[in-house]
Amino acid sequence: MKKVPFITKEQAEEIAKKYPTPFHIYDEKGIRENARRLYDAFSWNKGFKEFFAVKATPNPTILKILKEEGCGTDCSSYTELLMSKRCGFDGSNIMFSSNDTPTSEFRYANEIGATINLDDITHIDFVKQACGKIPERISCRYNPGGKFSIANTIMDNPGDAKYGLTRPQMTEAFKTLKELGAKEFGIHAFLASNTVTNEYYPMLAKILFTTAVELAKETGVHIGFINLSGGVGIPYTPDKEPNDIYAIGEGVRKAYEEVLVPAGMGDVAIYTELGRFMLAPYGHLVTRAIHEKHTHKEYIGVDACAVNLMRPAMYGAYHHITVLGKENEPCDHIYDITGSLCENNDKFAIDRALPKIDMGDLLVIHDTGAHGFAMGYNYNGKLKSAELLLREDGSVLQIRRAETPDDYFATLEGFWDKI
């Protein structure tokens, strides 16, 4: 899959006149079209809903765009709940999937009517005490343990994950929750991250559908929804093809009709919680080459750093890079692309074949629309960049301004005002 930026060199240079690099920019047209494809692929399920994982891209403008496309939100913290509420999402459109959760956060989630997704069986008493009673609509996160494999390839290791209830605990939890007044139940699971295969969701769905039928028989509860969570990924490297969301939707439909319908559970709603799939390809980190270094290797220093995109430093993750204006030039130079943190892992690329980079060139770092800006931090006193939106009409809107030193010092009580 060829990686093509959604902005040109001319656009980027014009934007940089008003909003200096580095900056994150998102493609509204791409976001909307992708959301519509997802809903079309699952249109066979009357209750289908996407609960966008706020942690991936916690910006109100992005959330409102997704809200207009019919999405809800999946929140993992009090702040994300507040943001969702402020953006106009009502409780029926908010899932609260957290772990090691403070009492106050469960209480607030319940107050606004969000669906609480329990991560552990001990959280039943915790929620009861926090909220005064168990909500009538509730979900439990299932972890089957072991390793999750597709075609003999291990995709992930749920048995090592801190999340979710065991299969026996699911039965016990549903029985207890029913006794405490819960009336509508949901099942949630996340078994693998960033899968680039059309087989993951259908396989996960069959596991969850089978579990749902068993739980309904064992406990007599009404299972209203099954949440397939996230895990549908994107191809970060250009040698891979993207997932086909229509093939994925059809695979889930077949599992639904094979398992749930014969069991009289053809009214179960399907939910998803996609962050990366929904946003990652529709975001760029735009940065400028400001230094070159010729020592044991060839280095290009840019004005972005791991503060702006942590994934390469944290995970060794690959993000494709385009040198704007040089898309058709040969990639005959080998560079490490580095940021300015005092850490040797602050590298966006290592031994990457790219066209010759000149000082002042603009680089697009691809697939930063999810888990890009969101994972930023202030190490070395670095400040977070602006977030921009390329609107459908071609105009550019600043949706979060860049941080200033005043922002950095604002929480230092009695310090900054004295300097």
Distance in angstroms (rounded) separating the CA atoms of residues 78 and 296: 48
Per-residue model confidence (pLDDT) at position 155: 52
| Helix runs in 112-159, H state only | 123-131
Q: Is 173 inside any structural domain? A: yes
Q: Do the domain assignments include residue 10?
A: no
User: Would you state the pLDDT for residue 84?
Assistant: 98
Say whether both 199 and 261 belong to one domain.
Answer: yes
Q: Residue 302: in which H helix or E strand, if any?
A: strand 298-302
Q: Going along 127-196, which residue ranges are E strands? A: 137-141, 148-150, 153-156, 184-188
Measured distance between the N- and C-terminal CA atoms of the chain, rounded to whole angstroms: 53
What CATH number has the domain bearing residue 74?
3.20.20.10
pLDDT tens-digit readout, 174-184:
999 999 999 99
Helix (H) or strand (E) holding 49: strand 49-53
* Whole-number pLDDT of residue 211: 97
Indicate whether 343 and 299 sit together in one domain.
yes
Residue 154 has a pLDDT of 47
Beta-strand ranges (E) seen in 147-268 are 148-150, 153-156, 184-188, 222-227
Let me know if 406 is exposed, middle or buried by CB neighbors in 10 A (0-12, 13-18, 19+). Answer: exposed
Same domain, 233 and 358: no
Domain boundary among 207, 239, 274: 274
Residues 87, 204 share a domain: yes
Find where tokens 């060199």 sit. 9
Residue at token pair 């980027």: 12
Judgement on whether residues 264 and 290 belong to the same structural domain of the protein:
no
Under-50 pLDDT residues of the chain: 154
* Tokens coding 368: 């930063």
Cβ neighbour number for residue 307 with a 10 Å cutoff: 25
DSSP, collapsed to helix, strand or coil, labels residue 197 as coil
User: Which listed residue (87, 140, 331, 342) is catalytic?
Assistant: 342
Regarding whether 64 and 183 lie in a shared domain, the answer is yes
Q: Which residue has the tokens 């699911």?
A: 170
Same domain assignment for residues 234 and 93: yes
Backbone angles phi, psi at 308, to 5 degrees: -85, -30
- What gap in Å lies between CA 183 and CA 98, rounded to an integer? 21
Rounded Cα–Cα distance for residues 313 and 349 (Å)? 9
Go through the chain and tell me how many residues it has.
419
pTM exceeding the 0.75 threshold for the entire prediction: yes
Residue 146: the pLDDT is: 73
Cα–Cα distance for residue pair 154/246, rounded to 1 Å: 24
Query: Are 79 and 175 found together in one domain?
Result: yes
- Interacting residues of 302 by C-beta distance below 8 A, sequence separation 6+: 22, 287, 288, 289, 290, 337, 338, 339, 348, 363
Query: Do 200 and 110 share a domain, yes or no?
Result: yes
The verdict on 136 and 174 lying in the same domain is yes
Q: Is 140 a catalytic residue?
A: no
Residue with tokens 């929620």: 127
- Is residue 1 in a domain? no
Would residue 328 count as lying in a domain? Answer: yes
Residue 393's domain is classified under what CATH number?
2.40.37.10
| Distance in angstroms (rounded) separating the CA atoms of residues 235 and 197 | 10
Do 265 and 333 lie in one domain? The reply is no
Q: What is the pLDDT of residue 419?
A: 53
pLDDT tens column, 137-170: 999 999 998 776 665 554 556 767 788 999 999 9
**160 and 188 assigned to the same domain:** yes
Q: What residues make up the domain containing 357?
A: 281-409
Assess if residue 29 is contained within a domain: no
User: Could you tell me if residue 417 is inside a domain?
Assistant: no
Residue with tokens 């080998």: 334
- Find the helix or strand (DSSP H, E) in which 147 lies: none
Domain termination residue (choose one: 244, 274, 304): 274
End of a domain among 274, 309, 342? 274
Residue 88 lies in a domain: yes
Closest by CA to 189, choosing from 100, 119, 249, is 119
Residue 23 in domain: no
Total tally of structural domains belonging to the chain: 2
Instruction: Please list, residue by residue across 161-200, b when 16 or more beta carbons sit within 10 angstroms of its beta carbon and e when fewer do.
Output: eebbbeeebbbebbebbbeeebeebbbbbbbbebbebbbb
Place of tokens 């709940």: 81
